[in-house]
Amino acid sequence: MAVNVETLEKLERRITLTLAATEINSEIESRLKKLARTVKADGFRPGKVPMSVVAQRHGYAVQYEVMNDKLGQAFAMAANEAQLRVAGTPNITQKDEAPEGLIAFDATFEVYPEVKLGDLSTAEVERVSAEVDDAAIDKTVEILRKQRRTFAQRPAAEGAEAGDRVSIDFEGKIDGEPFAGGKAEAFQFMVGEGQMLEQFDAAVRGMKVGESKTFPLQFPADYHGADVAGKEADFLVTMKKIECQNLPEVDADFAKALGIPDGTVEGLRADVKKNLEREVKFRVLARNKAAVMDALVKVAELDLPKALVASEVERLTQNARADLKQRGIKDADTAPIPAEIFTPQAEKRVRLGLVVGELVRSNNLQAQPAQLQAHIEEMSQSYEKPAEVVRWYLSDRQRMAEVEGVVIENNVTAFVLAQAKVSDKALPFDELMTA
């Protein structure tokens, strides 16, 4: 029997579903009889509870369950018959009038849009690249040295220098009044490593243990503390302790301590370069992938299903609540989070998902088994026991689904770059790593 599909607006559709009342009643009766075999009630033995009592206690729930099941089956059959790709869950309401012996319902829903992929040759993409040079290796080795540095008390006659670890008491005031977060005792930080505002850092340099100093500090207009941003404070600082750092020499012992097999400085630098090149590769790919996705959306035309956007907003909201809960925020489950906060992001994600899905289907860009294996093996090289990491991924269906999504995105990126107007840009290593 042909299904009459009514177009309401854009992606919204409506179809009428009918169920035979006798079939519904028969199914309800059948389920109640089955339930009566195990249901318990005071004054009756199991299996001996009268049907009238069973119906009184469980009739509504069973009726609701039967109606949901039958409507779900009827809607699925109708949508399949009409060859509709339904987006989201239908809204089903009972109609006031129906042919004798039937119960009628209106099912209102959205369908997936037609995605019109534009001419990819007109898409403009900036493709970045970066190289790991000796300076990058030197900087990383220096970080490794700092991770293994030790500290010793600086002589009392000497003032604090860059690289020292200091412990201070401080109190700040704005217009003579203390402010939240402006006071601390035995506060520890590294001089010259960007942990404090530059004015504060500069004022501490040269101070000796026991010395106190008062100085003005101008908070930046974009300072993270909104209450003090853009304001000037006066700080009183007292130096309590100064420790100078001792960095290990870059030698065979240092290389061995880092687990370099041949225990040589050359082996250490080669290992550092290998790890940096792997990291650079992933960062470059991520940046180029983002550029490709932005370009891809610009050349595509489609309407967005409201149901999919609403579902994505709900997912983002739940993620936000989970993050708040993890941070220890009280009432994270009930905190008011307006949907409009996530709506632009949800619309972007849904649009991109639909466009990428169409591109993958129309150009056979699905992830191949060999690609999945290669990607997992490449990721595993960052770990001490690669074989165990590979098994960890292969043993879990959800983890494999995540890998598949990444590989598909990589396929899409390569496909678009092969056709788009590409401009190449070489990025300095530091710019790529700090972006």
SS3 string, 345-384, reads: HHHHHHHHHHHHHHHHHHHCCCCCHHHHHHHHHHHHCCCC
The Cα–Cα gap between 241 and 207 comes to: 10
Computed over every residue of the chain, the mean pLDDT equals: 92
Whether 316 and 384 share a structural domain: yes
The CA R_g of the chain, rounded to the nearest whole Å, is: 33
Whether 12 and 106 share a structural domain: yes
DSSP state at residue 100: T
Whether 322 and 408 share a structural domain: yes
In a domain, 220, yes or no: yes
Q: Would you call 66 helix, strand, or coil by DSSP?
A: helix
In a domain, 429, yes or no: yes
Give the rounded distance of the alpha carbon of 136 from its chain centre.
29
Domain that holds residue 270: 265-434
Model confidence at 2, pLDDT cuts 50, 70, 90, reads: low
Q: What is the pLDDT of residues 202-229, one digit of tens each?
A: 999 999 999 999 999 999 999 988 889 9
Q: Which of 194, 217, 246 is the last residue of a domain?
A: 246
Looking at the DSSP assignment, which residues form a beta bridge with residue 224? none
**Strand duo 6-9 + 12-20: pairing:** antiparallel
Whether 276 and 416 share a structural domain: yes
Q: What is the pLDDT of residues 325-375, one digit of tens each?
A: 888 887 878 888 888 899 999 999 999 999 999 999 999 999 999 999 999
In a domain, 255, yes or no: no
Whether 273 and 345 share a structural domain: yes
Whether 427 and 292 share a structural domain: yes
Question: Are 280 and 432 contacting, i.e. CB atoms less than 8 angstroms apart?
Answer: yes
Q: What is the pLDDT of residues 301-316, one digit of tens each?
A: 999 999 999 999 999 9
Whether 404 and 282 share a structural domain: yes
Residue written as tokens 């109640």? 32
Whether 215 and 288 share a structural domain: no
Whether 296 and 427 share a structural domain: yes
In a domain, 21, yes or no: yes
Whether 271 and 411 share a structural domain: yes
Domains identified in the chain, total number: 3
Contacts of 353 (CB under 8 A, 6+ apart): none
Q: What is the pLDDT of residues 69-126, one digit of tens each?
A: 999 999 999 999 999 999 989 999 999 888 888 999 999 999 999 999 989 999 999 9
In a domain, 319, yes or no: yes
Kind and range of the H or E element at 144?
helix 134-147
Whether 326 and 242 share a structural domain: no
